[in-house]
Amino acid sequence: MSRGQVLARLKGLFSTRKERGLNMRMKIAVVFFFLACPVVSVAQDEPVRFYGSTTTIFRFLEVLDPNDPSSKVYQIPAYEYITLGSDNVGVQGLSVFLRGFGKLEVIDPVEGAKFDGDVLFYNLGYRTKNGRFRAKVGRQFIYGGAGNNVLLDGVMVQGRPWTDIDLSAYGGFVTWPSLEFRSSNYAFGARAAYDRWDYGRIGVSLGLERDGGDIARANIGLDFAYRQFRWLDLSGYVLFDTLDRLMPVQETKVAVAYIADRYFRFALDYGLFNPVGRLPKTSIFTVFTNSRYHAVGGEASVRGDGPLSVSCFGRYFRYDENGENGYQIGIKPVLSFGYRQKYMVGLDVQRVRGYENAYTLVRGFSSLRPWKKLELTLDYADYLYDEKVQGYDRSHVAGFTLGYQVVKGGRIQGDVVVTVNPEFRQQVAGLVKFVYEFSTLSR
Amino acid sequence: MERRLYLISVAIVVAGGLFFACAHLLTRQDSIIFSHEKHAKEEGIGCEECHEEGAQKAIPKEEKCLECHEKAEGKCAQCHKNPKNPQTWQEARLQGLRFSHETHKEVECQKCHKDVLGAKRPSDTETPRMLEVCMSCHRKDFRSIDCKKCHEDMIENPARPTRLFSHDVDFEKRHGLLAKGDERVCAHCHREEFCGMCHSTLDVLPPDIRFGEKVEAGLIHRHDFITRHSIEARQDPNKCMECHRVEQCSSCHQKRKAGGHEPDFMNPSSPNFHGRQARADILACAACHDAGAQSNCVRCHRVGGAGGSPHPAGFKGDKSHGACRACHQ
């Protein structure tokens, strides 16, 4: 094969999302690789753990045809989620993980029968015996540091060369559905932190994303935490936008929690957000005035030795651009009886005010386990809107769930949910779910 | 029909909850009446006389009690709270912990079981405050995150350090903040799958449908979220963007032709005027229109266009900004 042909093939492989994705053979190869890994395990100090789960969901929906609002149609989408993983596979500290789903719509008079699916995670990880260094290759979440969460097809390495110093770096392609990717849409970053994690930490991180030859995001972030063992927990982050010459604060959030004892805890938080900052800089909409907003909130929870526990929260929003306000406030008392909360009854009352509309939620819920293997839940929620939404000032949902543990790790569940909402999109939905989870150790 | 459905639903929830609460209260559970204060402090009985030295399962059997107490009819209530339904004392489970009383036998009992001599009920001494007690000796292991010294397998048998990382009722709202920088700590108990249950942007089934049985959990998209999503998205848009890309809004809005403009959208004196709306919530515009120059404001707001030049007077740009290329190739 000539150099030109090789380059052409490589170019094809890393072509943009619009041009092509990974072909079927590559998808099968990725899946086969992760399934085959556990087979090659060899003897080692730590036992090999195999784990996984399968979840099959059949939904039964009675919906309205958008093209004919007077008629009812039925849909039966089926979902299959599969997770497979193994720790200490082959080599001690090596782990593999694969999770994906498939969706099949057999009966859909509106859009016709179709199949959909994706690989949600696939990665290969390695951790040293003392746990100080680790690396991961594949599709994974990057959520450390002040930057935003990012789902990447890439590589992450992390290490603690000294007990209190934490260093990490990542790089990879931003994830798109169906194992497709844009070769020009990639992100990378790094973080260094002084981390005495039981007392607190301070970390500096850098994150950068490129899209189509332009820098879409570039941030420097500071994350910090301070803990007084058992009773005080302060944590927060500040994210600076380095693409602006003045390096303004793109967003920040600080929360402090006071944990008096096992009966009472109280938390306060403050956040400054700029939604435009979350748009890629390649978007024309980033040139608009920043519509920043502030959020100040508090949460408290009380629980005693008795059956009652109560939590409540309140949050106030202030929008810089138009001086408008918003708030949310709620209280949630829960009564639990019996060994390991065998019976539980709760009430959830909330009031949410945006700067256009508001609603009040009144919700009752109950979880009952009359026998060890049987679980029933009841749930009712009522939403009352201040201003009518599409002509309706109210929507409500009632749900009933019945679950039974058939074998250890295996559970069958049936749900019925009745929804009456202004969109009138869905009235009655049923669901049958089969879950099977396993986890075994072998030497 | 709607009112009837409402009444039936409320009745089911209330009646179900009351029925099982009453059923529980009527069948009162048994528990053991035992005072460490009376036995150990007042009577001076040593710990090892009841708890065999080095025993992993340190709860004495009934035979041990019967060495001193007589098992006779009518005296059951001396030890059993519900003598009609007497039950065996539940063993405290040290699931997944590498702990042995044998290796700790040099340590005084009261160092871990602090208030045991003053305890009037067994539940007062049931479990030592593990983190606090263990940390008095094992802090170095804790600092270096060497959890395996004490925990066999935290993922399969989480010891739930709920105080330090208080997984309390509002934890769902704060967990993202705590995870920033502490993801290694989360990973000791949670696999990536656990985060992906809710956070995977590629998934098609919302968490509240997949976990309908978790009625007590504060899932963000719970119940008929589609109706009220515009209220919450405008109240706290950053919360949406923690998981969703702007493209996800447009995929639905364009398909369903939802969220269209008001009739007076072009009237500058109207509160619905698009300029005012755009300044208040530019993300709402971007949700549908951020698909190149022809789909957005620049169609009209350009030199020679109905909206005129989008640049303010005296604007000087070097066209190096990524956004400039939306119009200036």
Which of A59, A339, A344 is facing B216, going by the closest CB pair? A344
| B174 has a chain A CB within 8 A of its CB | yes
* Other Cβ atoms closer than 10 A to B300: 13
> Per-residue pLDDT tens for B290-318?
655 555 676 677 677 777 776 766 776 66
Helical H runs in A37-113?
Answer: none
- Mention every residue, 6+ apart, whose C-beta is less than 8 A from residue A10: none
How far does B77 lie from chain A, in Å, by closest CA?
21
pLDDT for res A20:
41
Tell me which chain A residues have a C-beta less than 8 angstroms from the C-beta of B326: 282-284
Question: Which residues in chain A are contacts of B180 at CB distance < 8 A?
Answer: 143-146, 223, 235, 237
CA gyration radius, chain A: 25
- The answer to whether residues A171 and A154 touch, using CB atoms and an 8 Å cutoff, is yes
Predicted confidence (pLDDT) per residue in B29-49, tens digit? 677 788 888 888 888 888 878
Residue A371 has a pLDDT of: 83
**Six-digit token pair at B168?**
């309390």
Considering only residues B146 and A404, tell me which one the structure prediction assigns the higher pLDDT. A404
Which of helix, strand or coil describes residue B154?
coil
From A346, A299, A317, A381, select the one nearest B231 (Cα to Cα). Answer: A317
DSSP structural state of residue B170: T
pLDDT of res. B254: 61
Q: What is the pLDDT of residue B40?
A: 83
- Residue length, chain B? 329
Confidence of residue B23 (pLDDT cuts 50, 70, 90): low
Q: Which residue(s) pair with A187 in the sheet?
A: A172, A209
Note down pLDDT in tens along chain A; length 443 residues: 454 554 454 444 444 434 344 455 566 666 666 565 555 544 456 778 888 999 999 988 877 655 565 667 778 889 999 999 988 887 888 899 999 999 888 766 666 677 888 888 899 999 887 778 889 999 888 877 787 778 888 999 998 888 788 899 999 998 876 666 677 888 999 999 998 867 888 999 999 988 777 788 888 999 999 987 667 888 899 999 888 778 888 889 999 988 777 678 888 999 998 877 777 766 666 655 557 889 999 989 887 777 888 989 999 999 887 778 899 999 999 998 877 678 899 999 999 998 778 999 999 999 998 888 899 999 999 999 998 887 788 888 899 999 999 888 888 989 888 887 766 566 788 899 999 988 887 76
Q: CA distances (Å), B111 to each of A124, A194, B35, B40, in order?
A: 44, 33, 19, 16
Query: Are A363 and B223 within 8 A, CB to CB?
Result: yes
CB B16 within 8 A of CB A378: yes
pLDDT over 90 for what percent of chain B? 0
The tokens for B117 are: 């001599």
Contact call for residues B240 and B225 (beta carbons, < 8 A):
no
Instruction: Please indicate if any CB of chain A lies within 8 Å of the CB of B173.
Output: yes
SS3 B172: helix
Instruction: List CB contacts (< 8 A) between A211 and chain B.
Output: 322
Nearest-by-Cβ selection for A367 from B173, B177, B216: B216
Q: What is the mean pLDDT of residues B143-169?
A: 62
Looking from the CA of A64 toward its CB, the CA atoms found within 13 Å total: 15
Confidence of residue B134 (pLDDT cuts 50, 70, 90): confident
Cα separation, B45 vs B65, whole angstroms: 12
Among candidates A284, A375, A420 on the partner chain, residue whose Cβ is nearest the Cβ of B326: A284
CA distance A109 to chain B (A): 16
Chain A CB contacts of B232 below 8 Å: 352, 354
